[in-house]
Amino acid sequence: MNFEQPKPDSKKYSDLISDIEKGIIKIPKFQREFVWGIDKTAKLLDSILKGYPIGTFILWKTDERINDIKNVGNLDIPPTPDGTKVEYVLDGQQRITSLFAAYRGAKIQKIGEKKVTDYGDIVVNIDVDISDSDGQVISSEPTGEKSISLSTVLNFSFAKAKELESKFTGDELQLIDSYANAFRTYEFSTVVLRKEDIDSAIEVFTRINTGGQTLTLFEIMSAKTYDEEQSFDMTVKWGDFIKELKDIKYEGVSNSVVLSLLSLVLSRTKECKRKTILALDKHTLIDAWDDAISALKDSIDYFRTTYRIPVSQILPYDALLIPFAYFFYHKKDKPSGQQKKLLEEFFWRMSLSFRYSSSTESKLAQDIKRIDTILEGKRPDYADIKVNLESPRALVTTNFSAGNSFCKAILCLLAYQEPKDFRDNGKVILDNSWLKIANSKNYHHFFPKAYLAAKQIQNGNSLVNITFVSDHLNKRKIGAKAPSVYIGDFHDENSEIDIALTSHFISLNGFGIESDDYATFLAQRSKLIYDSLKSRIDLTHQESVNEELEELIVGGESEKVEFKSTLRYDLRTKVVNKKLEFVIAKTIAAFLNSEGGDLLIGIDDDSNALGLETDLQTLEKQNIDGFELLLIGIIKKYVGTEYGNHIKISFPIYDSQQICRVRVSRSGTPVFTTYEGKEEFFVRTGCSSQPLGRGEQSIYEKEHWT
pLDDT value of position 147? 92
Number of helices (H), then strands (E), belonging to the chain: the values are 27, 26
Q: What is the CA radius of gyration of the chain?
A: 34
Query: What are the 10-residue block averages of pLDDT along the chain, 706 residues in total?
Result: 64 87 82 79 91 88 76 72 85 85 82 79 89 84 88 89 90 92 90 76 67 69 82 90 87 92 96 91 94 94 88 92 97 86 95 93 96 95 92 95 92 91 83 63 87 93 91 69 91 88 93 95 96 89 68 87 94 92 94 93 90 92 89 91 84 85 90 89 91 90 84
Range 475-489 burial, b when 16+ CB lie within 10 A, else e = eebbeeebbeebbee
For residue 261, give the H/E element and its range: helix 256-266
Cα gap 706→703, rounded to integer Å: 6
Helix (H/G/I), strand (E/B), else coil: 382: coil
Please name the residues in contact with 186: beta carbons below 8 A apart, sequence gap of 6 or more: 12, 13, 48, 51
CB contact at 8 A, 119 and 107: yes
User: Checking DSSP bridges between strand 682-685 and strand 688-691, what pairing results, if any?
Assistant: antiparallel
- Cα distances (angstroms) measured from residue 211 to each of 97, 345, 520: 20, 46, 57
The string of pLDDT tens digits covering residues 668-682 is 889 999 888 889 999
Note if the pTM is more than 0.95. no
User: Checking DSSP bridges between strand 57-62 and strand 187-193, what pairing results, if any?
Assistant: parallel
Rounded to 5 degrees, what angle do the CA atoms 690, 241, 27 make?
A: 130
pLDDT value of position 495? 85
Cα gap 324→292, rounded to integer Å: 11
pLDDT value of position 1? 40
pLDDT value of position 618? 92
Phi, psi torsion values for 79, nearest 5 degrees: -70, 155
Cα gap 213→209, rounded to integer Å: 6
pLDDT value of position 625? 85
pLDDT value of position 436? 61
